[in-house]
Chain A
Amino acid sequence: MVATDSIRKSSSRMAQTPSFALSILWLLIHLVISIFFIVLGIVDTVEDYLISSGFLKRYDVINMGKLRYLAIVVDSEDAMQINKVLKLLQWLTDIGVKHVCLYDSEGVLKKSKEIILEKLSYAKLYEEGDEKSGLDSKTMILEFTSQFDGKEALARAANLLFKRHLKLSLGENQEEKIFTEAQMTEALKAVGSGGPEPDLLLVYGPARCHLGFPAWRLRYTEIVHMGSLDSMKYGPLLKAIYKFTLVRQNYGK
């Protein structure tokens, strides 16, 4: 049977050492792809120049109303380049972004929190309730997160719900539902990891991957890969935010 043969072929393919010819062909394909990305990089540089100099007029006016909350994921090794992070935040301020969540899995940015806040005099640390309060045009709210606020926070919130469940199971009020999404959101806030859901998430790293950004806050977030922090440019950042403002979501309907 054709299909069983093909499964058998795939198993034997994986078990054998690839021939020299196949390996060369594979390397050639990846070389061509690398050249393609280099060319793409050159195109990006040209576009960056055109956007920064104001030649591409469509990026001049962006409706920032849709982008209430932006998240930036940075590779932890790149995150040690604080000057790059500061430059990125300065660009975001110039564009008009008010509320930024910075994430790196190891917590390097969390450790550099004080330095960043000191250098950006107009930035303040996120506090619960900030999303509802009005801000003056110059202040930027910053939140610093890591994997401590991801799966580990969900486990801490689970323990909180477990304690409530225990109390209820011993008490009289057994009607109350403990295990709901709303209760989980409250529990996350109680353990200190309950920030709002970003509208847009920009990934600065080698791969198009969110690197463990808190799952509870990622449901309908648009995820865009920006390349590595080393090669960050203003033009692609502005373009990504502009493209986001054009997106329309159905939320499953």
Chain B
Amino acid sequence: MGRFLVNFFCKETMEKEARITEGYWHRFSSFLRNCMFNVLSVGPVPNHIAFIMDGNRRYAKKRNLPVGNGHKAGFSSLLWILGYCYELGVKYVTIYAFSIDNFKRRPSEVQTLMDLMLEKIEEMLKEESIVNKYGIRLCFIGNLKLLSDHVREAAERAMKVTAKNDRAVLLICVAYTSTDEIVHAVEESCEDKLDQSRAVGKINGWGNHSDNDQTSPKDHKHDPVIKVVDLENRMYMAVAPDPDILVRSSGETRLSNFLLWQSSYSQLYCPAALWPDLGLWHLVWAVLSYQRSYPYLQKKRKQQ
């Protein structure tokens, strides 16, 4: 009995000491990180960083784990990276969570991803989650009609609940591709112009033309013209400025139909690390590279 009590109290003390040591270490590393961010902030800090979270499946394969575990590890990595970004002062973070192309994967994997997304959305809306701690507004970007009802409703609810948060924004691209976004923007712009014309009453004039009408160009001089700015206003990503940095993990150097319109003057960064292995130092390097290219990219943006 005496030995049992001694062991019990020793174990309690050891666990308490481990928690205190962990607490000190956590505070010390936070202090170091804050110092580093103070130094980085001497130069320009990116306002918007976008991430292609590539490499979850390879991460799981390397460790002989099911694919779902790779995606879960990817989500943990995401929370760390988000925390670092918002601490540094990045206001907008965009993540490529699920492409329209990803629907071609095995149905079981697609279902796992959808279930994970649903679970994580619910988690993020809890009181103690990162969303409330950092005052993050959630925006789900993409053709949400392609999602199942459960996931779409959860996403819409998350957007509604966090609509008033204004410190930072997390844009989650789901059922998204750039080409789909561009076609959608074209369709919406066409509808806008049609509405404008109807309002002015010109559509009645056009309705009187015959099918084989050979009207000369001068008859169409008042036709509404869709401009680049009209398309930009109708992009899903119009809620945020263009990204300053676009990061793709796992060493691949392509954009895979992500933010093709918005990344004209974005610094591209392709670290070899798989997404679950991406950490603070990769982010620091991305920001330092951005700061080196900043004068040139700003000049190019202004010339546009």
List B contacts of A166 (CB < 8 A): 194, 206
Q: Which residues of B contact A152 (CB under 8 A)?
A: 228
Taking the closest CB of chain B, its distance from the CB of A120, in whole angstroms, is 28
Q: Is B141 an interface residue (CB 8 A)?
A: no
Question: Which of A22, A157, A251 touches B39 (beta carbons < 8 Å)?
Answer: A22
Quick one: closest A residue to B262, CB to CB?
A215
Interface residues of A in 205-220 (CB under 8 A from B): 205-212, 215-216, 218-220
- Residue contact A252 to B99, C-beta cutoff 8 Å: yes
Contact B182 A209 (CB under 8 A): no
Interface string of A129-150 (1 = CB under 8 A from B): 0000000000000000001001
Contact present for B34 and A7 (CB under 8 Å): no
Contact, CB under 8 Å: A6 / B187: no
For A42, list chain B residues within 8 Å (CB): none
Verify B268–A225 contact, CB threshold 8 A.
yes
Q: Which of A10-18, A50-58, A87-95, A110-118 contacts B (4 or more CB under 8 A)?
A: A10-18
Contact across chains for A181 and B89 when beta carbons are under 8 A apart: no
Residues of A within 8 A of B293 (CB): 206-209
Q: How far is the CB of A69 from chain B (nearest CB, A)?
A: 14
Asked if B16 is an interface residue, CB under 8 A from chain A, the answer is no
Residue of B89, B134, B224 with highest tally of chain A CB at under 10 A: B89
Interface of B is mostly: helix
B20 CB to nearest A CB, Å: 17
Within 8 Å of chain B (Cβ to Cβ): is A179?
Answer: yes
Rounded to whole Å, the gap between the CB of A66 and the closest CB of chain B is: 14
CB under 8 Å from chain A, chain B span 231-267: 231, 252-257, 260-261, 263-267
Interface size class of A (residues with CB under 8 A): 35 or more
A121 contacts partner chain B, Cβ-Cβ < 8 Å: no
**Which chain B positions have C-beta within 8 A of A253?**
101-102, 104-105
Q: CA separation between A252 and B113, bound complex, in Å?
A: 14
Q: Across the interface, do B265 and A209 meet the contact criterion of CB distance under 8 Å?
A: yes
| Beta-carbon contact of A219 and B260 below 8 Å | yes
- How far, in angstroms, from A151 to B218 measured CA to CA in the complex? 26
- Bound-state CA distance A33–B180 (Å) is 40
Q: What CA separation (Å) do A4 and B87 show in the bound complex?
A: 9
Against B, the Cβ 8 Å flags (1 = close, 0 = not) of A147-169 are 10011101101110110011001
Q: Is A171 in the interface zone, CB < 8 Å from B?
A: yes
CB distance from B115 to the nearest CB of A (A): 19
CB neighbours (8 Å) of A2 from chain B are 30, 133
Interface residues contributed by chain B, number (CB under 8 Å) = 75
**A224 interfacial contact with B, CB 8 Å:** yes
A105 to B297 Cα, complex, angstroms: 13
Cross-interface CB contact of A215 among B34, B178, B227, B304, cutoff 8 Å: B178
Quick check: A181 and B180 within 8 Å, CB to CB? yes
B128 to chain A, nearest CB (A): 10
B264 touches A7 (CB 8 A): no
Binds A, one of B40-48, B67-75, B274-282: B40-48
Residue of B nearest to A203 (CB): B268
Chain A contacts for B88, CB-based, 8 A: 10
Q: Is A29 an interface residue (CB 8 A)?
A: yes
A22 touches B296 (CB 8 A): no
Q: Is B190 an interface residue (CB 8 A)?
A: yes
What A residues does B41 contact at CB under 8 A? 10, 13-14, 18
Q: A10-B37, A253-B105 are in contact. Are A158 and B255 (CB under 8 A)?
A: no
The reply to whether A212 and B255 contact each other, CB–CB distance below 8 Å, is no
Given contacts A3-B134, A23-B42, A253-B101, contact A219 B89 (CB under 8 A): no
Asked whether, in the complex, the Cβ of A252 is within 8 Å of the Cβ of B102, the reply is: yes
Determine the distance from Cα of A166 to Cα of B265 in the docked complex, in whole angstroms: 35
The reply to whether A212 and B304 contact each other, CB–CB distance below 8 Å, is: yes
Q: Which of A4, A169, A215, A249 has the most CB of B within 10 A?
A: A215
The answer to whether B38 has its CB under 8 Å from any CB of chain A is yes
B300: CB under 8 A from chain A?
yes
A-B contacts, 11 of them at CB < 8 A, read: A6-B34, A7-B134, A10-B87, A26-B39, A155-B228, A157-B186, A169-B194, A179-B183, A179-B187, A208-B289, A221-B255
A-B interface, 9 closest residue pairs, ranked by CB to CB distance from nearest: A252-B101, A3-B133, A215-B260, A26-B42, A10-B89, A207-B293, A212-B264, A179-B187, A18-B42
Known: A209-B264, A219-B260. 8 other contacts (CB 8 A): A14-B89, A18-B41, A18-B42, A26-B43, A171-B211, A209-B293, A209-B297, A224-B253
